[in-house]
Copies of this chain bind each other. A is one copy, B any other.
């Protein structure tokens, strides 16, 4: 019967002297006082092995990262990691590793370059610190879905092959679809709106989204996982901000509970529920004033005025919020009409019922109330240089579409900022950028 590394100490206490079986990978081999210790790693953690008594086994033959099965008796040992070691009496190779590892798996992640990490995912994820990124991401997706189901949201799956872009035709990847041209969806925008109009009222989707943007920055991916939400019968973007606060609080609580060790590997802490609850909501114009005041003062001293909430402004605003409000999270609302897509609901002639969420210096969410009135959508088209054909998908709104709105959280960006990763690509298993198309 297989026992996981994390459970060996307990097994040893519960059933002292009992023989157990472990499976895993050779993480480290070290000599200490004439004895060879092997650190075995499985999905749950690491375990010290003493193999000197294993019958017919030549330890000098052992290669790092080989997969082995060891039968032995666990013994408590204060000096071993986790306070327990396994004295193996039988070792079998499950799969021998070739000796020419492209890089040292058990090294500090800082010593492995980003390109090597991404080129060799099968090896880089063997490093517990790198694996922790995706254990955290798995919990983010789980907690996001769990919270929304608890609020009576239905999970949907919509097509990623669309006839055109919701937000205009630029920055789309073209797909040869039989004898037609289609595009990879930038977002499930129109589909989640249709679902709300259909009377499902509350929907969410976890799915890939595509942007054919050429820039290569630490904050952009050409393919990312979008955590999308849409709900009916809202008054304004305030309802959406409240919902996002609830979602983020739940994600942070679940991470603190389930991923304690993963967070510790990155020296990362999640905000507490109170800090999320108290996150300020700052109207766009005021946000710009704060940003320029920050920019003009102290260590951030800049020469030129900032005219929109660009990446530099996001950082400055988050610095301000952390210092003045003690929170990692800031909402900016009331974005000007010209910065938002045609379907955004107006607050007045110049402002919209829209918002961004900024977390630790980075925009992780864009959202807002949407125009639910088909005639009003028609009227606004010319201002955006669009034809009626562009809103063909919205024709269904003529049949009793209620007020609604929604938002999307970038899963990799949220992961990045929770753990303090330098580059968002570290939070994507197989990231795609202009050059990276493999593995």
Residues of A at the B interface (CB closer than 8 Å) are 2, 23-26, 41-44, 63, 65-67, 94-98, 101, 120-126, 131, 134-135, 137-138, 141-142, 145, 149, 152, 154-161, 163, 173-178, 180, 182, 184, 190-191, 194-195, 197-202, 206-208, 212, 214, 223, 225, 233, 372-373, 392-393, 396-403, 411, 428-432, 434, 437-439
Decide: A180 and B101 in contact? CB cutoff 8 A. Answer: no
16 contacts between A and B (CB under 8 A): A23-B402, A42-B199, A67-B400, A95-B401, A97-B400, A125-B199, A125-B200, A134-B200, A160-B223, A173-B176, A174-B175, A177-B432, A178-B214, A194-B439, A208-B208, A392-B438
Decide: A233 and B23 in contact? CB cutoff 8 A. Answer: yes
Q: How far is the CA of A149 from the CA of B25 in the complex (A)?
A: 22
Q: How far is the CA of A312 from the CA of B137 in the complex (A)?
A: 43
Decide: B123 and A177 in contact? CB cutoff 8 A. Answer: no
Decide: B206 and A131 in contact? CB cutoff 8 A. Answer: no
Q: How far is the CA of A190 from the CA of B429 in the complex (A)?
A: 13
Helix, strand, loop or mixed for chain A's interface? Answer: mixed
With a cutoff of 8 Å between Cβ atoms, the chain B residues found around residue A67 in the complex are: 400-402
What distance in Å separates the Cβ of A41 from its nearest Cβ neighbour in chain B?
7
Q: Which of A175, A223, A400 has the most CB of B within 10 A?
A: A400
What distance in Å separates the Cβ of A255 from its nearest Cβ neighbour in chain B?
14
Q: How far is the CA of A124 from the CA of B195 in the complex (A)?
A: 10
Q: How far is the CA of A411 from the CA of B398 in the complex (A)?
A: 32
Decide: A233 and B94 in contact? CB cutoff 8 A. Answer: yes
If A43-B200, A43-B202, A199-B125 touch, whether A437 touches B138 (CB-CB below 8 Å) is no
Interchain CB contact (< 8 A) of A399 among B2, B42, B97:
B97
What distance in Å separates the Cβ of A174 from its nearest Cβ neighbour in chain B?
4
Decide: B198 and A430 in contact? CB cutoff 8 A. Answer: no
Q: Which of A41, A138, A173, A223 has the most CB of B within 10 A?
A: A138
Q: How far is the CA of A399 from the CA of B126 in the complex (A)?
A: 11
Q: Which of A120, A155, A163 has the most CB of B within 10 A?
A: A155
Q: How far is the CA of A428 from the CA of B173 in the complex (A)?
A: 23
Decide: B400 and A163 in contact? CB cutoff 8 A. Answer: no
